[in-house]
Amino acid sequence: MKLLEGIRVLDLTNVLSGPFSTLHLALLGAEVIKIENPKDGDLARKLGNQPNLNKQLMGTSFLAQNANKKSVTLDLKSPEGKEVFRKLVATADVVVENFRPGVMNRLGFGYDVLREINPRIIFCAISGFGQTGPDAFKPAYDQIIQGLSGVMAVNGDERLNPLRCGFPVCDTVGGMNAAFAIMAALYYRERTGEGQMIDVALLDSIMPLMGWVAANLLIGHQQPVLMGNDNFTAAPSGTFATADGCVNIAANQQKQWEDLTRALGVPELVEDPRFKERDTRKANRKLLTPLLEEKLRQHPTAHWVEVLNAVDVPTGAVIGLEEALLQEQCKHRQTLQPLNVEGIGEIPFFSLTAKFSKTPGTLDAAPPRLSQHTGEILGSLGYSAADLQALKEKGVV
């Protein structure tokens, strides 16, 4: 049995936050039906660095977020499309959308309407700022939220700030938050039989990830300090130069600091009044780093990773994305798994990273071609081949 076996999710989302959310539901066994516009579907189908795939409406951005899903095309503005959607809602457990607030109401499918069709329905709306409030109707992309959340303000150093994260962190965290909320709502429904509406905002979702930084400000009244690759909670803790690159060292505990000095051959620093105590080390990190790097530059990164980890000083190389994805630990964890995509070939996909002992997540199907499952799903609702052809001729599907 799969964890979400028997759960049907209607996925009206586009691009990233919504599809990332429903991807996790699909990996856990839910039947996720993407409801896409009949013309060209999810915008992500055209996004990616491979023009030939974009032309096939199978862009890399789409491929990354849509394994295990089914694709149904449906014009939700047409009377016939609305009728099909009503029938789907009656069979569904969850509806997820990431339109701007108000769009679902204008389509005639706000939560009040959906729960009349299906009282057990769980309706999750994902947006930049939430469904209400002074900014609710403003447009929002990940970059906008990174700026408005304070994320860009706390990244970088005095030379480079503000600085965005190198991937759409607000979209992905918002999607993960939505998946978590949907799972919680399903659990509540199991106990009460009641569905509900979930309002997820990207702005809300990202801010708790800055909890320590925010706590220093809200409780300790300390503004964030731009520290680049240094860790503000301890020293030495950050990125340091070696003979052939960089190494991350996190000597966050006093014993780790003392073991580090012995491993580097500078035990005298332990009693140096500038570095003896945790808080003084933090205050004098700019004096400390060159002293450590003088030793670290004598050997390559691999040497220090082995030597320092051997004495329980947390140490790791700073590697590129390709090397990171192919490292042995990720292979062992099966972080990436291959799937064959018809017309494209075998490509790697991220699997479910939470490992369940009894109900593991599985990659079962490649991301769908646009409208690949329209016939199957509408057929299950009672539409005949002739009905389907008529809907095609009208542009409904």
Report, as residue numbers or ranges, the catalytic residues.
Answer: 171
Instruction: Of 105, 108, 147, 103, give the one whose Cα is nearest residue 127.
Output: 103
64 half-sphere exposure, CB direction, 13 A CA radius: 15
Between the CA of residue 18 and those of 30, 178, 375, what are the distances in Å? 15, 8, 24
Q: Which residue has the tokens 């990244």?
A: 155
Pairing of strands 31-36, 94-97: unpaired
- Quick check: 174 and 206 in contact, CB under 8 A? yes
3-state secondary structure labels for all residues of the chain: CCCCCCCEEEECCCCCHHHHHHHHHHHCCCEEEEEECCCCCCHHHHCCCCHHHHHCCCCHHHHHHCCCEEEEECCCCCHHHHHHHHHHHHHCCEEEECCCCCHHHHHCCCHHHHHHHCCCCEEEEEECCCCCCCCCCCCCCHHHHHHHHCHHHHCCCCCCCCCCCCCCHHHHHHHHHHHHHHHHHHHHHHHHCCCCEEEEEHHHHHHHHHHHHHHHHHCCCCCCCCCCCCCCCCCCEEEEECCCCEEEEECCCHHHHHHHHHHHCCHHHHHCCCCCCHHHHHHCHHHHHHHHHHHHCCCCHHHHHHHHHHCCCCEEECCCHHHHHCCHHHHHHCCEEEEEECCCEEEEEECCCCCCCCCCCCCCCCCCCCCCCHHHHHHHCCCCHHHHHHHHHCCCC
